[in-house]
Structure 1
Amino acid sequence: MKNRYKFSIVLLIIGFMTAVQYNTMQKPKERDTRDIWAIRNELTAEKKLHSDLLSEVRELDKTIDKYESSKEVNTGKVLSETVDKLYEKAGMTDIVGPGLVIEVRPSPESVAYGIPISGISPNLLTRFVNELNRFKGHSLEIDGKRYTKLSSIRDINGITTVNGINISTPPFKIKIVAQSFADSEKLFNTIHASEINDDFYLDDLILDVGKPERNVKIRGWKERFNNLYLKESPKGE
């Protein structure tokens, strides 16, 4: 009798566990409703991030190799080259190269109907920058303000700013310098076909994208960085 009772309890536990497992498989807590293209896009973004990180690691390895292989006499030269590259990556230097000049201006309908344009919203400008970031290695200037990885787009007292400096009410220009003329042509076609144009049109703005040019000049970031931690060692140490 006791064995039959124990056997019944074991069957009850097994049945309960099976029911719970079946219910979990049939009704997951979070259902992934994304289609295959959304998943592919996310996978592509992750692969691009992985590729960018590998490129940075290889670049750092090359710099380390230069320091290790250079003689003491050439160490200063290698250090100077490294500093120049860092200044360029930080956007502190002027750049001239193939690229595009885009004018952000009020749409013809808003001008015809006299619709007032208060300015570009920070969300719209951020979406545009994210669209450009699909292309690697370009340099960007927004209304005369150099935009880098250290830059920020914010709303300050109702006015959109880049690096804390106000963006002009449209029209204003956006300049892009690509790595090659072929890249600038790809960027030109991508912007023309992008849905970002619809986003601008909904805000009564349009993107007037100029044809690719051989020599587009963008200014370096003139604001100075505040050094909080590094100190110059006295000579001889």
Structure 2
Amino acid sequence: MIAIQYNTVQKPTERDTRDIWEVRQELSEEKKRQSELLSEILTLSEDVKEYESSNSKNQGQVLQNTLEELKREAGLSPVSGPGLTLNIRPSMELIEFGYQVEPITPELLIRLVNEIFRFNGLYMEINGQRIVHTTAIRDINGDTTVNSIPINDTEVEIKVITESFEMAEKLYSYLYASGFQDDFYIDNLDLVINKAQDKITITKFDGELVNSYLVEENKGD
């Protein structure tokens, strides 16, 4: 047993080649997800307490408020709040020098969307298409699509709503200091990051939400 344990420690089947900063970054991401889950549990617990402490007359209103909040989170209703807008457009100086401008790639758009959500973006809309948990950003017949709808090749507007105006300002500073503008410039595109605003309105999801985990086939006995 000692020999087996020693061999396992000294010769792991798969060596972890990450450096200390990569490990710290992954740990930070996990702690952030844990914090978000704990925050959500606390919110739900407060809803339960409010429902239990209210009388029968007010319980209906509490449930209605909870329903409206869930609809906003799922994208089934419009939402307004502090945030910022981003614009993607062709780089005019590169066009003047004869560079060809290609449509924005799904990969680059996905990277930007994921980074915004990672930095606590709550709600997002791309050229009128609400981003929800079922949204797919992909290439269909050479066109970059959002929710299977082709977006404008050369002019793209992204709206983001955050938890507070201060959070919107932090998101602006973060994106402005990041390397995303350089990444877009490589593709002959300009990423314009506009300053935070007090109120931005995002439309509701124009489609059908399908949750495959709630669909169960009944094959009988």
Query: Per the shorter chain, which TM-score range?
Result: 0.7 to 0.9
Q: What is the CA distance between 1:170 and its match in structure 2? A: 1.8
Does the alignment pair 1:135 with 2:122? no
Aligned ranges 1:78-97 → 2 under 5 Å: 78-97=62-81
Residues 164 and 21 of structure 1, relative CA distance in 2, 3 Å threshold = same
Aligned ranges 1:33-52 → 2 under 5 Å: 33-52=17-36
CA distance in 2, matches of 1:90, 1:71: 28
Is the contact made by 2:137 and 2:146 (CA closer than 8 Å) also made in structure 1?
yes
Does the alignment pair 1:63 with 2:47? yes
Aligned length: 214
Question: C-alpha root-mean-square deviation of aligned residues, in Å?
Answer: 2.6
CA distance in 1, matches of 2:61, 2:199: 30
CA distance in 1, matches of 2:67, 2:113: 27
Q: What is the CA distance between 1:42 and its match in structure 2? A: 0.1
CA distance in 1, matches of 2:195, 2:17: 40
Q: Which stretch of the first structure deviates more once superposed, 113-122 or 183-192?
A: 113-122
Is there any run of 5+ residues in structure 1 with no aligned partner, and where?
A: 1-13, 231-237
CA distance in 2, matches of 1:98, 1:69: 32
SS of corresponding position for 2:207: coil
Question: Which of the numbers 127, 138, 141 marks the counterpart of 1:154?
Answer: 138
Indicate the residue corresponding to 1:53 in structure 2: 37
SS of corresponding position for 1:138: strand
Q: What is the CA distance between 1:190 and its match in structure 2? A: 0.5
Q: What is the CA distance between 1:109 and its match in structure 2? A: 4.5
Residues 24 and 81 of structure 1, relative CA distance in 2, 3 Å threshold = closer
Is the contact made by 1:95 and 1:217 (CA closer than 8 Å) also made in structure 2?
yes
Residues 50 and 97 of structure 1, relative CA distance in 2, 3 Å threshold = same
Question: Which of the numbers 167, 185, 195 marks the counterpart of 2:151?
Answer: 167
CA distance in 2, matches of 1:86, 1:68: 19
CA distance in 1, matches of 2:208, 2:6: 62
Is the contact made by 1:117 and 1:169 (CA closer than 8 Å) also made in structure 2?
no
Residues 23 and 166 of structure 1, relative CA distance in 2, 3 Å threshold = same
What is the TM-score with the length of structure 2 in the denominator? 0.84
CA distance in 1, matches of 2:29, 2:205: 28
Q: What is the CA distance between 1:94 and its match in structure 2? A: 2.5
CA distance in 2, matches of 1:227, 1:42: 29
Residues 27 and 224 of structure 1, relative CA distance in 2, 3 Å threshold = closer
What is the TM-score with the length of structure 1 in the denominator? 0.79
CA distance in 2, matches of 1:224, 1:33: 43
Q: What is the CA distance between 1:56 and its match in structure 2? A: 1.6
SS of corresponding position for 2:118: coil
Is there any run of 5+ residues in structure 2 with no aligned partner, and where?
A: 216-221
Q: Which has the larger radius of gyration?
A: 1
